[in-house]
Amino acid sequence: MTLTFIVFLPLLGALVSLFLPKENHDIHRKWALIVSLVALAVVLGMWGPFDAGNPGIQFEQRANWIPSIGVSYHVGVDGISYPMLIITGLVSVLAILASWNIDHRQKEFFAWMLVLQTAMYGVFVALDYILFFLFWELLLVPMYFIIGIWGGPKREYAAIKFFIYTLVGSAIMLVGILATYLKAGLGTFDIVTIAQQANFDPRFQFWAFLAFFIGFAVKVPMWPFHTWLPDAHVEAPTGGSMLLAGILLKTGTYGFFRIAFPTFPEGADAFKWLMALLSVISIIYGALAAMAQRDLKKMVAYSSVSHMGFVTLGLAAAAGAVAQAKGVGDATVIGQLLANGSMALNGAMYVMISHGLISPLLFFLVGSVLYDRAHTRMMDEMGGYFSKIPVAGTILAFAAFANLGLPGLSGFVGEFFTFVGSFPAFRTLVIIAALGLAVTAGYHLWMMQRVLMGEGKKEESFPDINGRELAVSVPLMVLIVLLGVYPALALSILDPAVSQLMLKLGGM
Amino acid sequence: MAELAWLIPILPLASFVFISLAGQTVKGDGDRVGVAAVGASLILSILVFVDVLDGARVSADFAWAFFGGTQLRLGYQVDPLTATMLVVVTLISFLVHVYSLGYMHGDVRYKRYYAILSLFTASMLGLVLADNLLFLFAFWELIGLCSFLLIGHWYEKRDVGFAALKAFLTTRVGDIGMLVGIMLVFFHARSFQFDAIAEVIASGQWVGPALAAAAVLLFAGAVGKSAQFPLHVWLPDAMAGPTSVSALIHAATLVAAGVYLVARSYAVFSAAPEALATVAWVGGITALFAASIALVMEDIKKVLAYSTVSQLGFMMVGLGVGGFTAGVFHLVTHAVFKALLFLASGSVIHGVDTQNMHEMGGLRKKMPVTFWTWAIGSAALAGIYPLAGFWSKDEILLSVYEGQHTALFWILVIAATLTAFYITRATLLTFFGEPRDRRRYEHAHESPATMTVPLVILAALAVVLGFANSPYSGYWFARFVYFDHPHVPEAAGFVLFWATASWVVGVGLAVLVYGFGLISRRAVIDNLRPVWVLLKNKYYFDELYYLVFVRGTVALARIVGWFDRVVVDGVVNLAGYGTAKLSRATGEFDRDVIDGAVNGIAALFKAGGAVLRRLQTGYVQSYVLALFLTVVVGLLVFAIG
Amino acid sequence: MTLSLPVVLGVGAIMFGLGVYGALTQTNAIRVLMCIELVLNSVNINLVAFSRFTADQALGQIFAVFVMTVAAAEAAVGLAIILMIARRKTQIDIDQINLLKW
């Protein structure tokens, strides 16, 4: 029941908000904030009862939905989805706070934000293919309107591009879902049951994995399916881009963790090289493309492409580790190889979490804090912000260093584990990807040099960061530091589920 | 006391947190908090050092992360090498903290300066305490961050921003090699902890090229951090930061980290002769190369910067030829006398407000304390008996000699000669002769006590420290800090002769040129103009790197950006455009053909209606007529039918 | 001469013929209306005649009364329409009025 409550509370809140007076702008944002806070509180309240040592599904709830074809309302969380729920709750609250000063059609905006929350929570708890697909598609609608109505100058182009792009991906995924259902022959759409019981032949796994791969890769986004992202991020209002970067991208990689890998291990094996290659291309290419940008927000958007490459690299490495372990007889060596894979997978999850904190912070700073003051996103037109707005400038520097993987901050931990865990499986590729770190450092520092250092325009003067903006930034910063200093904190929840997935991939 | 070693970095860290969050609430923006924290760390370090001297060894770890069944246990350790580094780092850092009270007084970002200085110290202390490569790498990056922030302290100036960026990026290039090296080490040793790695290597499970590759890759990190050839370019530019920062970076912290890394992971290096040879040769080349550039620099800080690069090369050679103790000992002594030289130069700059030596001259009367301490420091650097530099440099030469690396030996002798020459040149240009800029000379004054007291302390240390590893103390240091087993090289007259000859020649030539003017500087330059131009331009490395790497990367980035916008997005837009076109064509077919058929039938009726409606004239009488006629016709039909 | 059925029917036929002729040829709406009254009344004569000469009951007379009632109502409505047209168009020449066209 808890999960159902969390999922549908925002939707209920959105319905209630329809009855609130349209003229009173204040009441809508407050209502949305309250509803999101309650949802977040319930998510955090699950921390106590959540059994970290249990790798299986918890808080499970199941009800028949369309019994004739085996569709059920089945929700539950495990160590992979629970952290995502926390991030979702947190970033949702902060995104609403960040959108506090939306200046037109407030009622609709906050209603859509609440609907979006339902969809995000739903994707992370759904354990039925149809339910998952439903929430997956539901993500698009509010985001489409949020970008299309409250976005920047090219918002309509961006919204349509985003919508169609992801819709094409999910259409292919739907084919995969139906094929999986029919081929499994279990008469159920249950994700867990199919992953555990179905016996797919490798040929089918290849095609099914491909279908899901395309669906998820668009969302991640992996090169070359990424071009919707810069446009959508740049045009979206700040709250939208925070959720887009922080949560929506993760639904793609989450899909790999939840569906594609556990259900089609042999498919993953067949695609591991392609996936690793595309990941490394994403890492390098995203970093280089980010360096080329003059628009600060676009730079951050491309850096998302680069960082999500780490997640998919870790996933590919898990499959790679399994492949390495196949031909080995020595049990110790197998254990070591699987431990590598487990490290890579944990690293990938860690990057998801960490990027789910860092990218909203960056988008908030760039799209809201700086933009509200300077009214530009062009780096060439900025400068000297360290002096002009010292606190905001320092937070931006903090976020940039977190994003470039400075140790002590969460970005480093995930990237490091992903690298170390992936290295045995894809040595050359990992070394090439490591070169991308120099480029990553390069564009972040160059950005800081252009935006924060120097003298800037003489006549400019801005007020420094205000209380609301601090309230958005500080929780993210605290978590970034915490997760960067002591990773066992998150790993205690992640690792049991991830390691079980690793064993499942290894056929044990 | 050694169990409390973990407190040593925590104190400055706490000071960092305090100063950055609440510094403005206390007097002096929290500078005294920083000084006190580092002072406490210094005392603690000395106590720990004494404990370790008595044979105490501490290590503790905890599960930092875990994956499946494996735990990553990481922690800290205190052994003689760490204990020594702790004292050196806290001592230099403490003195720099005190010195900065005077030097940075009234700076625009005084609070920020002290906050970052504390963080810097904390990171460096964490680095030397780490018992594993992961923590070491983490703190390694953190000191990189701090150096970025400190070098960019006066970031309003464009050059300063670039210098900070260059420092971070150049070291980052080396760090990537180091990261790959760490991955290789973990891949083979299944651990990040130095002890465990050493065990795996000792057990002989890991041999061959992979080991050498790992060592060389780790060394790449050291090359970046310690500014060794070919990643040395950032260090001279890093002089853009405050001089007190330069002292800290160049003496005890940032650049020392590279040497420390090689020393700390010596187990990996010593098992791979190829890697050791790489270290030695890179060090040797750097020592000579940097010393030659230092000959012609006009900026007093740049002379010291290249001198640092060169001296770090000496240390690398020491480590590379197997002289573990010699390399580490030179690190310690160099930390002291180079910190002294930098702080003294800061005092000079503070006094005359220029860094160009050609605008100084004759300052010894104006700044006596600075002059005497500088003189001691430069004598130590030149390697004059019995100062610290003499003993440590002698040790390195001895190690090279023992290892029979003939070529390296002569390289070092030449480098040592050049060292003596350039530092004497700097001394003469700064403190002797006639003042070349009257206005600045008049303005010059001795620095306040907060600045001179650290100088005096360091000068005293520069005099006595060398004896720690000399026959007079029975080579005490070599029996304390060693790798595997203590090794005291046998004194060799040959080495002693050349070591002495090098400084005599170097100092003598410099005095002839700059002191008495017996050899014309102009004539030398004119005769060796191509060499002079080459040196002046630092062998054109900056230009080369700028052209190849900076321009190259930016160009590549532009190409990728263009590619993304035009090609990838172009394909997407083309697909969208194509789909739109297709749908339009479909629409036309639908409208014209399919809908046309439906509409055609409707049109038929419409046309029929158009004809028939003509009958409806609207004149009532015609309707009535029609009605009447119909009735008549109907009746007729009825009647006939 | 006795008033026989053919005589009365003959009168009715003449009246009907006059009425139809008038309704088709007159352009004044009032006249058309009056001619329509003629037609109706010729029918009334026929009804009454048939009733008088062929049946015992007064069925035809009752029909005649109905027709008269309807004719009165019709005349009233017709005149009202004509009045409206007259007001709008200032004339009631039905050649000029083709509002029922198409």
pLDDT tens column, B408-449: 888 888 898 888 888 888 888 888 877 777 777 777 777 788
Q: Which of B139, B187, B553 sits opposite A423 (nearest CB)?
A: B187
Beta-carbon count within 10 A of B547 CB = 11
Q: Of the candidates B616, B617, B625, which has its C-beta nearest C24's C-beta?
A: B625
Amino acid at A368: S
Name residues 238-277 of chain A within 8 A of B (Cβ): none
The verdict on B638 touching C (C-beta cutoff 8 Å) is: no
Is residue C14 predicted with pLDDT exceeding 80? yes
The contacts of residue B529 (CB under 8 Å, 6+ apart) are none
- Among partner residues B63, B68, B165, which is closest to A499 by beta-carbon distance? B68
Q: To which H or E segment does residue B72 belong?
A: strand B70-78
- This model of the complex carries an ipTM of 0.90
Residue of chain B whose alpha carbon sits nearest to that of C21: B625
CA distance B123 to B115: 12
Q: What pLDDT was estimated at residue A307? A: 92
Give me the pLDDT at residue B637, please.
Answer: 92
* Environment class of B588 (CB within 10 Å of its CB; exposed 0-12, middle 13-18, buried 19+): exposed
Rounded to an integer, the average pLDDT of A245-269 is 91
Q: Given the structure tokens 């003449």, which residue do they identify?
A: C14
Q: Quick one: angle between helices A265-292 and A296-326, nearest 10?
A: 150
Closest chain C residue to B618, measured at CA: C101
Instruction: Dig out the tokens for C68 from the structure.
Output: 């008269």
Cα of B546 to nearest chain A Cα, Å: 13
Tell me if B554 sits within 8 A of A445, measured CB to CB: no
Q: Which residue has the higher pLDDT, A87 or B594?
A: A87
Element (H, E) at A73: strand A71-77
- Both tokens of A508, joined, read 């044990």
Q: Is pLDDT of A446 > 80?
A: yes
pTM: 0.83
Query: Exposed e or buried b for every residue in B468-480, given b needs 16+ CB within 10 A?
Result: bbbeeeebebbeb
| pLDDT score of B30 | 78
Asked if residue A443 lies in contact with residue A291, where contact means CB atoms within 8 angstroms, the answer is yes
DSSP B65: E
Residue B571 with chain A: CB contacts under 8 Å: 224
The residue-averaged pLDDT of A6-32 equals: 90
CB contact under 8 A, B561 and A292: yes
Residue type, A380: D
Residue A55 has pLDDT above 70, yes or no: yes
User: Cβ C20–B616 below 8 Å, yes or no?
Assistant: no
Q: Which among B314, B355, B306 is positioned nearest to B333, based on CA atoms?
A: B314
Using a CB-CB cut-off of 8 Å, the residues of chain A touching B161 are 449, 453-454
- Give phi and psi for B77, each to the nearest 5: -145, 150
Q: Which whole-number Å values give the CA distances from A315 to A82, A247, A344, B30, B523, in the listed order?
A: 19, 18, 7, 47, 68
User: Per the CB < 8 Å rule, is C94 touching B623?
Assistant: no
Across the interface, do B617 and C32 touch by the CB < 8 Å criterion? no
Question: Residue B620 and residue C32: Cβ atoms within 8 Å?
Answer: yes
Residues 362-421, chain A, touching B (beta carbon < 8 A): 384, 386-387, 401, 406-408, 412-413, 416-417, 419-421
Under 8 Å CB-to-CB from B390, ≥6 apart: which residues?
A: B380, B383, B384, B466, B499
Distance CA A97, CA A239 (A): 8
Average of pLDDT values for B617-639?
85
Chains near C (3 or more Cβ pairs under 8 Å): B
Least CB–CB distance from A491: residue in B65, B190, B568: B65
State the DSSP code for B356: B
Residues 520-559 of B with CB under 8 A from A: 553-554, 556-558
Of the candidates C20, C32, C101, which has its C-beta nearest B616's C-beta? Answer: C101
pLDDT of the residue at A384: 82
Identify all chain C residues contacting B617, using CB atoms and an 8 Å cutoff. Answer: 98, 101
Q: Is B624 on the interface with C (CB under 8 A)?
A: yes
For B361-406, the pLDDT digits (tens) are 777 778 888 888 888 888 888 888 778 888 888 888 888 888 888 8
Question: What per-residue confidence (pLDDT) applies to A436?
Answer: 86
What interhelical angle do A331-364 and A390-403 show, nearest 10? 150
**Mean pLDDT within B226-255:** 82
Left if phi > 0, otherwise alpha if psi is -120 to 50, otherwise beta: which for B474? left
Task: Name the A residues in 29-68 with CB < 8 Å from any B CB.
Answer: none
Structure tokens at A326: 């196949």
pLDDT at B488 over 80: no
The confidence score (pLDDT) of residue A359 equals 93
Fold observed for domain C5-89: Helix Hairpins (1.10.287)
Residue A473, token pair as written in the block: 């930034």
Q: Which of A376, A400, A392, A389 is nearest to A449 (CA)?
A: A400
- Whether chains A and C touch (3+ CB pairs under 8 A) is answered by no
What proportion of chain A, given as a percentage, has pLDDT over 70? 100
Structure tokens at A143: 């985001």
Weakest-pLDDT range from A46-55, A355-364, B72-81, B241-250: B241-250
List CB contacts (< 8 A) between B629 and chain C. Answer: none
What angle is formed at CA A447 by the lines to CA A445 and CA A448, rounded to 5 degrees? 65
Write down the pLDDT at residue A83. Answer: 92
- Quick one: residue A416, left, alpha or beta (phi over 0 = left, psi -120 to 50 = alpha)? alpha
With bands split at pLDDT 50, 70 and 90, how would you rate the model's confidence at A77? Answer: very high
Element (H, E) at B162: helix B158-189
Pick from B149, B109, B243, B154: nearest CA to A455: B154
pLDDT, tens only, A283-314: 988 888 888 888 888 899 999 999 999 999 99
Q: Do C32 and B621 touch (CB under 8 A)?
A: yes
Which of A422, A444, A439, A166 has the alpha carbon at shortest distance from A296?
A: A444
C101 → closest Cβ in B617, B624, B628 = B617
CA gap A216, A133 in Å, rounded: 12
Dist CA A472 CA A479 (whole Å): 12
Question: Where would I find the H helices in B469-619?
Answer: 476-480, 493-510, 521-527, 529-536, 541-545, 551-562, 569-589, 595-612
Range B574-601 average pLDDT: 80
Interface of B with C in 576-615 (CB under 8 A): 613
Q: Do B284 and B412 contact (CB within 8 A), yes or no?
A: yes
pLDDT in tens, B105-158: 878 788 888 888 889 999 999 999 988 888 999 999 888 888 888 888 888 888
**What CA–CA distance (Å, rounded) separates B413 from B496?**
11
Report residue A120's pLDDT band, with 50, 70 and 90 as the boundaries.
Answer: very high
> Which residues of A fall within a CB distance of 8 Å from B187?
420, 423-424
Whole-number Å distance between alpha carbons of C32 and C29: 5
User: Which residue in this structure is represented by tokens 């990773």?
Assistant: A487
pLDDT tens for each residue of C23-43: 888 888 888 888 988 999 999
Q: How far is B213 from chain A (nearest CA, A)?
A: 13
Are the beta carbons of C23 and B624 separated by less than 8 Å? yes
